[in-house]
Amino acid sequence: MANRLTRIYTRTGDDGQTGLSNGSRLAKDAPRVHAMGSVDELNSAIGLLLTEPLPDAINQCLTQIQNNLFDLGGELSLPGHAILTDQHIEQLESQLDHFNADLPALKDFILPGGSRAAALAHMARTICRRAERDLVTLAREESIDALAGPFLNRLSDLLFVLSRVLNRHAGGQDVLWELKKPPAKAC
């Protein structure tokens, strides 16, 4: 590890600004900071999912994704720097094909839920979609790596597929949306 933090608080953010890796300062509500925060939140959500008992293949997949998300956060904190490659996206597509291969075809919309692990995968998926939206907002104002958006788009798809796999792993099925279901008498 090149840098070692010996003191966690710096007081440099007390005025509503934060520092990027290139030394520049931005408002904490700037689009770049929003995107960095959403990617960090996504990484934390995947970390929470990893605390669940998961099949080894999913555990390994998500652990690698956490490292890739940290790289993406590094890209965002250093404008003009690119770490993600086409291979990152190809790897996600390969994992999507692998995990989706044994799932039944989708005929209905799926509600987030089922097993705890599947619900956590759905939560991570929705955070991933927000991170993707934040990247789109940032790209309207600044140049960002062209692979960041496709990476998050494939990742959200993978998290959706993993939620389906995890429901089956837990012995359950997808939670299906029911069209025009009458309201419950009492919630």
CATH code, domain with 74: 1.20.1200.10
Establish if 83 belongs to a structural domain. yes
pLDDT above 90: percentage of residues in the chain: 68
d(C-alpha 108, C-alpha 84), whole Å: 34
d(C-alpha 51, C-alpha 66), whole Å: 13
Establish if 6 belongs to a structural domain. no
In the predicted structure, residue 8 carries a pLDDT above the cut 80: no
Global pTM value: 0.87
Mean pLDDT for the stretch of residues 109-125: 96
Give residue 21's pLDDT. Answer: 62
Residue 62 belongs to domain spanning? 28-176
Q: What is the DSSP string of 132-150?
A: HHHHHHHHHHS---TTHHH
Cβ(101)–Cβ(162) below 8 Å: no
Establish if 161 belongs to a structural domain. yes
In the predicted structure, residue 161 carries a pLDDT above the cut 50: yes
Establish if 12 belongs to a structural domain. no
Establish if 2 belongs to a structural domain. no
> Who has greater pLDDT, 174 or 17?
174
Establish if 79 belongs to a structural domain. yes
Mean pLDDT for the stretch of residues 4-10: 61
Establish if 63 belongs to a structural domain. yes
pLDDT tens, position by position, 132-153: 999 999 999 998 889 999 999 9
Establish if 95 belongs to a structural domain. yes
> Who has greater pLDDT, 17 or 41?
41
pLDDT tens, position by position, 61-99: 999 999 999 999 999 988 888 999 999 999 999 999 999
Most confident stretch, 3-7, 106-110, 178-182: 106-110
> Who has greater pLDDT, 128 or 184?
128
d(C-alpha 4, C-alpha 116), whole Å: 36
**What's the number of domains the chain is made of?**
1
